[in-house]
Structure 1
Amino acid sequence: MTKRTDQIRLGAFLMATGHHVAAWRHPRAAADAGVDIDHYVAIAQRAEAAGFDMMFLADSQGGWVDRSQLESVAHTPQVAGFEPLTLLAAIAARTQRIGLVATATTTYYPPFLLARLFASLDQLSRGRAGWNLVTSASPAEAQNFGLEQHPEPEARYARAAEFASVVKGLWESWEDDAFPRDRDSGLFADPAKLHLLGHRGEHFAVAGPLNVPRSPQGHPVLVQAGSSEPGRDLAAATAEVVFTAHQTLESAASFYADVKGRLGRYGRTPDTLKIMPGVMPVIGASEADARARYEELQQLVHPDIGRRFLAHVFEDPRLLDHDQDKPLPDWVAVDGRKSRPALLLDIARREGLSARDLHLRVTGARGHWTIFGDAGQIADQLEQWFDGHGADGFNIMPPALPEHLDDFADQVLPELRRRGRVRECYEGTTLREHLGLPFPVHPAARATLAEAAE
């Protein structure tokens, strides 16, 4: 395997008390962390001090609540917490370098509002914002927006493609030097540098312009999560970073080659897209010690969590009554258009897991890669995926906060730096610079350059 010469990019995927479903029950956890701004600021500052390229917050407009089984809220800390853009705006004021990425759905936001919110965060943070584009997976979200039924995947992705185009068009309303703010002449904004969108499409009619200027990084970094067929094509067309989930290097490398191979259809080159699978590293003095630490959390998983998790992810309430000590029944099926349930079913069938084994395996990282070992072993595994072209970097998912983030920062990052795989310190100020992504030249500037070249 040939060693790559570029460097591993790192995101800190932060969830209140950590990614493990039982992390909030750990004696060293703050159970109310989801609504504690000081907690979030502290872990963001810790990730920044460690040199992470970005922090990432997930979100749902449905509150992760199964309305047909309201008792499902009883053991799940994700049912209540901050709206991520509001939270990141507060964190922006108390950090200097780390990128700030949040999830927002194209299915239930209007594009002008979303474009304005993220452009504002990008200005507030001086070019550190990123938008994680999702199409929403939970039917519960529809009922919060006047719909009885959640749109089918094909409809959601068709809307998402047009949505992304509208948002990017709005972000290009103004050229980079459109605001001279010249007191002597009285010229605040140059009308010649203003570009109206005037979009009329199948799903949206948006006139523009956006009332927020471009930021030091041009516009927010566009992130996309999802590995389904329409998701891959949307990523190739629009995304600059892709978050994804894989269990094996073979699967990750296949996805990597497929998505990067689609970029040419859209006039793009491989360096314009970074693929960053999620990984939950559990670090100890040895692999056995790391597994023992993880088992502490596993012992705290409430027995009701697993069966409800499986019933939810496979969208089949019959699993609520299934014997947890038996394999998933043969009648469990997945919609091929949805990547996560297909991934979990593959794990269960391939490894012969019982329903209980499966939910204990995935309720921590929800299908993402989980690895165990000392700092050197963790670094070895990350390097293997990186050099095997399964990843350009990783979205690090600490099982419990803050201690597992500290473990990675204090033990694994120094080892990766010793090997020359991660930069020593921030070399720029914007999220694009951290990730090695090109600056998005404004279309008007591109046209001028093209004319000059002729």
Structure 2
Amino acid sequence: MTNPTTPRPVRGLPPLHLAVALDGAGWHPAAWRAEGARPGELFTAGYWADLVTEAERGLLDLVTFEDALALQSVSLSGPDDRTDQVRGRLDAVLIASRVAPLTSRIGLVPTTNVTHTEPLHLAATLATLDRAALGRAGWRPQVSARADDAAHFGRPAPATLGEGDLASPETISGRLAPLFDDAAEVVAAVARLWDGHRTALPVTVLAHARIPYELAAKGGDVAYVTPYSPDGVAAVLTEVAAAATAVDRPAERPLKVFADLLVLLDERPGEAARHKDRLDELAGAPLRSDAEIFAGTPAELADLLLDWRAVDADGQRLDGFRLRPARLPHDLLAITRSLVPELQRRGAFRTTYEATTLHGHLGLPAPAGPRT
């Protein structure tokens, strides 16, 4: 790390927020076969502890943990029979709880299903995590339309999606509108329960279109969005602002907006793209994602982040980024040990933690009551 002083704002802007999304061996389906991967340890506490402590060494705002009620699948509608990709996850809240005592600053944000989970259970579980983490917990509520998720609870599938729907986030969110309505009610109910216990965790929402933007604006503090270009950044920021207006979000409580990118990073130009091609070959198909896929050097990624951050849509700008490492731990190490120092040299990222809670990292008001 560079000298621990407060960085100078870039182009008059405050320093970036940076988050990392952790999932299995990485976000590439063949990541478990990449050099340095640890597939035999994916279901051990030590593996996750190593990843999160590394993220904290990089001074990142937060890490998110992916989760689902059913196994991962290449199909939207249900399980597949792939045996050449990672299937299964540890419980995201329990991972966060396990690493909480091993860390002291970084925010811990698990994903939980809100379609089939009761608000009282969510409120108690997440409030317990927040106390274990001394105010560093957050939450990412997630809806589910999969039939195999519903089958765990003896319920019919709430919606049906086809492979062709992947090309249209608006189509997906439109078909899932009832689920997002239910999710908004669950988030509101959990918030009321937290108020009763003098607890309020930051709520983060992954959103691709108008309906999930409105969910984020109703009950969230951070929206993870998925533009693909500077023009896309401007369009998304405009849509998020419109969603906030539509749900009457108070102007004094602006929604933080982070852009998601799936990243492969190597120091030598062209090396990351070659590694991606090799993993694509092993997976049997090109890498697909709901987010922009970046393969390049840490310095090139720094250029992209700052270019996207410079986009101004009627006074709205991105607050930060959530990066999805394609290969773990390789791309996480590239983020913490190469990208972060590069951003620090440019005065665009913190050189020391200045807060001890996730609210503090994000510049959000502290909860009204004590956490003890």
Task: Please indicate the TM-score interval, normalised by the length of the shorter structure.
Answer: 0.7 to 0.9
State the partner residue of 1:276.
Answer: 258
Paired with 2:368 and 2:234, the residues of 1 have a C-alpha distance of 31
SS at 2:263 equivalent: strand
Greater RCO, CA 8 A, separation 6+:
2
Letter aligned with residue 163 of structure 1: V
State the partner residue of 1:388.
Answer: 311
State the partner residue of 1:297.
Answer: 279
For the pair 1:242 / 2:223, whether they are aligned, the reply is yes
Q: Detail structure 1 runs of 4+ shifted over 4 Å in the superposition.
A: 65-71
SS at 1:126 equivalent: coil
Q: 1:234 to 1:39 in 2, by over 3 A?
A: same
State the partner residue of 2:351.
Answer: 424
Paired residues of 1:13 and 1:396 also in contact (CA < 8 A): yes
Deviates more, 1:127-136 or 1:246-255: 246-255
Paired with 1:26 and 1:361, the residues of 2 have a C-alpha distance of 14
State the partner residue of 1:74.
Answer: 83
State the partner residue of 1:102.
Answer: 110
Deviates more, 1:150-159 or 1:233-242: 150-159
Select the residue among 187, 193, 201 that pairs with 1:164. Answer: 187
Deviates more, 1:235-244 or 1:277-286: 277-286
Q: Deviations over 1:268-301 (max 9, x none)?
A: 2376321112112322334322322323322321
Letter aligned with residue 258 of structure 1: E
* 1:51 to partner: Cα distance: 0.4
Letter aligned with residue 267 of structure 2: A
Paired residues of 1:4 and 1:387 also in contact (CA < 8 A): no
Select the residue among 293, 298, 310 that pairs with 1:375. Answer: 298
* 1:67 to partner: Cα distance: 11
For the pair 1:153 / 2:153, whether they are aligned, the reply is no
Q: 1:257 to 1:271 in 2, by over 3 A?
A: farther
Q: 1:104 to 1:165 in 2, by over 3 A?
A: same
Paired residues of 2:100 and 2:133 also in contact (CA < 8 A): yes
Paired residues of 2:139 and 2:203 also in contact (CA < 8 A): yes
Deviates more, 1:258-267 or 1:227-236: 258-267
State the partner residue of 1:85.
Answer: 93
SS at 1:300 equivalent: helix
State the partner residue of 1:324.
Answer: none
Paired with 1:74 and 1:374, the residues of 2 have a C-alpha distance of 32
For the pair 1:436 / 2:363, whether they are aligned, the reply is yes
Deviates more, 1:425-434 or 1:141-150: 141-150
Select the residue among 394, 399, 406 that pairs with 2:326. Answer: 399
Which of structures 1 and 2 has the bigger CA Rg? 1
Paired with 1:300 and 1:111, the residues of 2 have a C-alpha distance of 41
Paired with 1:99 and 1:259, the residues of 2 have a C-alpha distance of 24
What TM-score comes out, normalization by structure 2 length?
0.85
Select the residue among 262, 272, 297 that pairs with 2:243. Answer: 262
SS at 1:291 equivalent: helix
Select the residue among 49, 62, 67 that pairs with 1:59. Answer: 67
**Pairwise CA RMSD of aligned residues?**
2.2
Q: Deviations over 1:322-350 (max 9, x none)?
A: xxxxxxxxxxxxxxxxxxxxxxxxxxxxx
Paired with 1:252 and 1:270, the residues of 2 have a C-alpha distance of 23
SS at 1:12 equivalent: strand
Paired residues of 1:16 and 1:33 also in contact (CA < 8 A): no
Paired with 1:395 and 1:68, the residues of 2 have a C-alpha distance of 27
State the partner residue of 1:349.
Answer: none
* 1:267 to partner: Cα distance: 3.9
Identity of aligned residues (%): 25
* 1:64 to partner: Cα distance: 2.3
Paired residues of 1:287 and 1:372 also in contact (CA < 8 A): no
Letter aligned with residue 269 of structure 2: E
State the partner residue of 2:163.
Answer: none
Q: Deviations over 1:55-96 (max 9, x none)?
A: 10111112225698865231220x222011111100101111
* 1:4 to partner: Cα distance: 4.6
Paired with 1:292 and 1:47, the residues of 2 have a C-alpha distance of 25
Paired with 2:114 and 2:76, the residues of 1 have a C-alpha distance of 23
Paired with 1:411 and 1:383, the residues of 2 have a C-alpha distance of 16
Q: Deviations over 1:406-446 (max 9, x none)?
A: 1121111111011111111110000111111222447xxxx
State the partner residue of 1:231.
Answer: 212
Paired with 2:89 and 2:184, the residues of 1 have a C-alpha distance of 29
Q: Deviations over 1:192-213 (max 9, x none)?
A: xxxxxxxxxxxxxxxxxxxxxx
Paired with 1:22 and 1:51, the residues of 2 have a C-alpha distance of 28
Q: 1:236 to 1:293 in 2, by over 3 A?
A: same
Deviates more, 1:278-287 or 1:23-32: 278-287
SS at 1:422 equivalent: coil
Paired with 2:16 and 2:136, the residues of 1 have a C-alpha distance of 19
Paired with 1:109 and 1:438, the residues of 2 have a C-alpha distance of 28
For the pair 1:42 / 2:23, whether they are aligned, the reply is no
SS at 2:351 equivalent: coil
Paired with 1:68 and 1:282, the residues of 2 have a C-alpha distance of 28
Deviates more, 1:284-293 or 1:378-387: 284-293
Q: 1:367 to 1:267 in 2, by over 3 A?
A: closer
Q: Which runs of 5+ in 2 are unaligned?
A: 1-9, 160-174
Paired with 1:114 and 1:277, the residues of 2 have a C-alpha distance of 26
Paired with 1:370 and 1:281, the residues of 2 have a C-alpha distance of 6
SS at 2:303 equivalent: helix
Letter aligned with residue 391 of structure 1: L
